[in-house]
A = this chain, B = another copy of it.
Amino acid sequence: MSRKRREKRDPQQRRAEILAAAFALFAERGFAATRMEDVAARAGIAKGTVYLHFPDKERLFTELASGVASPILGEIEELARNEATPPRAALSMFYALFRRDVLETERRHLLRLILAEGPIFPGVAEFYHREIISRGLGVLRILLARAASRGDLRNPAIAEVPQLVIAPALTSIIWTTLFERYEHLDTGKLFDVFLDTLFLPEGDAR
């Protein structure tokens, strides 16, 4: 009896295809509303095959959430390490990378997903805090401290609450995924105005 049977594939590639399909669907519909069958269909494979790569739906989600961590962080850490880079330039670069690699790609939905489903999957939130947020805040603290010591900041206390620097980024994610269709937000301006608020104009010593 002839049976349709896909070519065997490199497991890593197959796995990636499943993750990609799952990502698209989770992002669009959320965790609960996504059916494993749809993930399989979108990946072009049979239902059962998904289970050869992921033990269950929850693990598919958490591996997805953990796996797409952006390389932005690495680039920023490098920038920050180089003391020659002016802090404002580093932050500016951070926002630019964020826009290019997250906000303007499908990855922005991933962040929404984590924010949305995070509390239900504590492992995911924990992973995000440890791998992304904590490291990011670390870099920001260094950058802001350096900026403060250079006298670049309008309010040096900012260095104590680096979450404020993340705020516009989170807000841009939320806005673009939820409200953009009702009212446009110019994210470039958002970040620029924010930087202008944080930093004293160049050559302006107080």
Q: Is the interface of A mostly helix, strand, loop or mixed?
A: helix
- The proximity string for A residues 101-128 relative to B, scoring 1 for CB distances below 8 Å and 0 otherwise, is 0000000010110111111100001101
Interface positions of A from 15 to 31, Cβ below 8 Å from B: 28-31
A171-B179 contact in complex given A30-B119, A112-B119, C-beta closer than 8 Å: no
A161-B190 contact in complex given A32-B33, A119-B30, A170-B174, C-beta closer than 8 Å: yes
Question: Which listed segment binds B: A69-77, A82-90, A152-160?
Answer: A152-160
A117 touches B157 (CB 8 A): no
Number of this chain's copies in the complex = 4
Contact partner of A198 (CB less than 8 A), chosen from B32, B174, B197, is B197
* Chain B residues within an 8 Å CB radius of A109: 119
Contact partner of A193 (CB less than 8 A), chosen from B157, B168, B185, is B157
B163 touches A185 (CB 8 A): yes
Q: Does A177 contact B (CB under 8 A)?
A: yes
Residues of chain A having any CB pair with chain B under 8 Å: 28-33, 109, 111-112, 114-120, 125-126, 128-130, 133-134, 154-155, 157-158, 160-161, 163-164, 166-168, 170-171, 174-175, 177-179, 182-183, 185-186, 189-190, 193-194, 196-198
